[in-house]
């Protein structure tokens, strides 16, 4: 584990829970204590989900040096600063230190694997992006993004490693800014911000629209499967025939907001008003508990647990 901030620490806890030895590296002052505290905070949820035989936080070792952590590693997950120059320094060191067949996966949400590969003179073919969703120890999705020089063996290995951790890896077949999930989120956020800016709804009401409406279905099935079910016996073909033109009218009417100071203030104050008096620690704890129970329940179904 290279980089032990919020994402890296969550990754570390997940690998430990599945019975792996984890060598973590982060040069930041106090990083080791912060990492061990974060793993301890994640551990109860991982225990409820079920630990692998021999799983223990005691199998975590720490060093300030990324090359030392990568030396002899069977898999490397990098979650360092989201800056190209920082990735260059890290991956040049990792490329030198890690065994030749070891996959070097980056958690990057915005830097493409082809850009990261430039720093790897020895083995660029084992470099790819393995982008998780926060928090990785709970959310199953991992977007696996190969770069221009990534070999199929590295992709296959990464998919297998993430699946062995109980994750749901999805291969991204084209390098895109934001990969897949962040682009879909950005599309929703774009219209939500437009609706606030236009005065169509409050921040609280828009959150309610998603949390108590389509978001409930989206937690179970993706957009195309949900559309298919809404078409009855005719499925998605019927939906497209009958609702295609109205949908295009909505597409044409969607907004294109910019994050002006005024809009940023409107959203910030709207969130503050909506959450006024809410115990944020309790909110996060309840969210994570319910999220874990939902994931467990989905996995126990005959169809929903394995559907795209």
At residue 128 the predicted structure's pLDDT band, cuts being 50, 70 and 90, is very high
**What pLDDT digit, counting tens, does each position of 284-299 carry?**
999 989 999 999 899 8
Q: For residue 106, what is the enclosing H or E element? A: strand 103-106
pLDDT of 307 reads 54
User: Is the pTM of the predicted complex or chain greater than 0.95?
Assistant: no
Please check the confidence at residue 306 and state whether its pLDDT lies above 70: no
Instruction: Give alpha helix (H) positions in 141-234.
Output: 152-164, 181-198, 203-211, 214-218, 223-230
**What pLDDT digit, counting tens, does each position of 11-51 carry?**
999 999 999 999 999 999 999 999 999 999 999 999 999 99
**What pLDDT digit, counting tens, does each position of 147-160 carry?**
999 999 999 999 99
**How far is 43 from 49, CA to CA, in rounded Å?**
10
Domains of the chain: 6-171 (3.40.50.720), 181-276 (1.10.1040.10)
Please check the confidence at residue 235 and state whether its pLDDT lies above 70: yes
At residue 243 the predicted structure's pLDDT band, cuts being 50, 70 and 90, is very high
- Mean pLDDT in residue range 122-133: 97
Closest CA to 226 of 304, 291, 155, 287: 304
pLDDT of 83 reads 95
- Mean pLDDT in residue range 91-95: 97
pLDDT of 305 reads 77
Q: Furthest-apart CA pair in the chain: how many Å?
A: 60
**What pLDDT digit, counting tens, does each position of 49-81 carry?**
999 999 999 999 999 999 999 999 999 999 999
- Mean pLDDT in residue range 75-92: 96
Please check the confidence at residue 308 and state whether its pLDDT lies above 60: no
Q: Cβ contacts of residue 118 below 8 Å, gap of 6+?
A: 88, 124
The share of the chain scoring above pLDDT 70, in percent, equals 99
Q: 232 — alpha (psi -120 to 50), left (phi > 0) or beta?
A: left
**What pLDDT digit, counting tens, does each position of 171-219 carry?**
999 999 999 999 999 999 999 999 999 999 999 999 999 999 999 999 9
pLDDT of 171 reads 98
Mean pLDDT of the chain: 96
């Amino acid at each position: 584990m290279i980089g032990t901030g919020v994402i890296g620490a969550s990754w570390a806890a997940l690998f430990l829970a599945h019975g792996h030895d984890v060598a973590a590296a982060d040069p930041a002052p106090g990083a080791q204590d912060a990492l061990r505290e974060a793993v301890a905070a994640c551990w109860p949820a991982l225990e409820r989900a079920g630990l692998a035989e021999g799983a223990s936080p005691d199998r975590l070792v720490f060093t300030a040096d990324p090359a030392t952590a990568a030396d002899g590693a069977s898999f490397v997950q990098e979650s360092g600063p989201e800056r190209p120059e920082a990735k260059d320094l890290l991956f040049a060191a990792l490329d030198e230190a890690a065994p030749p067949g070891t996959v070097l996966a980056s958690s990057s949400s915005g830097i493409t694997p082809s850009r990261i590969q430039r720093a790897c003179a020895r083995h660029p073919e084992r470099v790819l992006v393995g982008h998780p969703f926060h928090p990785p120890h709970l959310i199953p999705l991992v977007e696996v993004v190969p770069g221009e020089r990534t070999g199929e063996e590295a992709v296959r290995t990464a998919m297998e490693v993430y699946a062995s951790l109980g994750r749901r890896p999805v291969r991204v077949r084209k390098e895109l800014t934001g990969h897949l999930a962040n682009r879909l989120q950005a599309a929703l956020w774009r219209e939500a911000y437009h609706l606030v800016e236009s005065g169509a709804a409050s921040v609280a009401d828009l959150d309610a629209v998603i949390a108590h409406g389509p978001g409930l279905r989206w937690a179970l099935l993706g957009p195309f499967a949900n559309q298919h079910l809404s078409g009855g016996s005719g499925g998605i073909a019927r939906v497209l025939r009958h609702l295609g033109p109205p949908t295009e009218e909505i597409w044409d009417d969607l907004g294109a907001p910019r994050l002006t100071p005024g809009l940023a203030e409107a959203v910030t104050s709207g969130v503050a008003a909506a959450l006024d008096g809410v115990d944020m620690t309790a909110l996060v704890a309840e969210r994570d508990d319910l999220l874990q129970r939902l994931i467990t329940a989905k996995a126990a179904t005959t169809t929903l647990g394995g559907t795209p």
